Amino acid sequence: MGKKELTAQCLIPVRLIYLAGANVDGKPNFIEIASGGILSYGPPMFAVPIRHHHHTLKGILENWTFSVNVPSVELAKEADYCGTVSGANTDKVRDCDFKISYGKLETAPMIDQFPITMECSVIQILRTDVHSVVIGRVDGTYISEELLKEGKPDFDSLAPLLYFAQKGEYFTAGQSVGKARSIGNELKKS
């Protein structure tokens, strides 16, 4: 199989959509993100890249906290809306009819309708030419009771919102290909 060199780029075709949230001047605001993600499981840490001029970043810098809100596919319109308008010009919480709650950090607004939410305290901010990569420690994780089975997360009924960058469209997860950390065992030599 031959390969052709392209311009340098982050060519990851499918990305999980989430909304980063922060209180800006005391008011909750959210921005849609389709990059960043988990940095560490122990301690749990999350990275959120936000362009320097975005309104939500202002709130993160004010409080040194933020939230991560994972929408289901049913909330695609609201997630998309939060990525197309600025909280400096409109109240996204009102426009999307979001119900907001706070955890122990008290300044990281979370969207109740989203099945998974996390509140994070900022550990570090890395500035690149275009983005501030906000690195946060996950201090609280919350999940909708419908996604719990015997007290543990069960994602069989979750339809996460995914962004297919090449097509500029949203999708959700498809069929299973095989069990992770297992299907590769067929290639192991005895």
Please name the helix (run of DSSP H) or strand (run of DSSP E) that holds residue 96, with its range, or none: helix 92-96
* CB 53 within 8 Å of CB 92: no
Mean pLDDT taken over the chain: 93
Across the range 52-60, mean pLDDT stands at 96
Residue 190 pLDDT greater than 70, yes or no: no
Please name the helix (run of DSSP H) or strand (run of DSSP E) that holds residue 60, with its range, or none: helix 55-63
pLDDT of the residue at 6: 86
CA gap 134, 60 in Å, rounded: 9
Contacts of 122 (CB under 8 A, 6+ apart): 60, 64, 65, 66, 134, 135, 136
Query: pTM of this prediction?
Result: 0.91
Write out pLDDT tens, residues 73-99: 999 999 999 999 999 999 999 999 999
pLDDT of the residue at 154: 83
Q: What are phi and psi of 106, to 5 degrees?
A: 70, -10
Q: 50: which 2 tokens?
A: 């936000």
Architecture of domain 14-145+159-174: Roll (2.30)
Q: 24: which 2 tokens?
A: 């800006």
Please name the helix (run of DSSP H) or strand (run of DSSP E) that holds residue 27, with its range, or none: strand 27-33
Percent of the chain with pLDDT over 70: 99
Q: Higher pLDDT residue, 6 or 30? A: 30
Could you tell me if residue 71 is left (phi over 0), alpha (psi between -120 and 50 degrees) or otherwise beta? beta
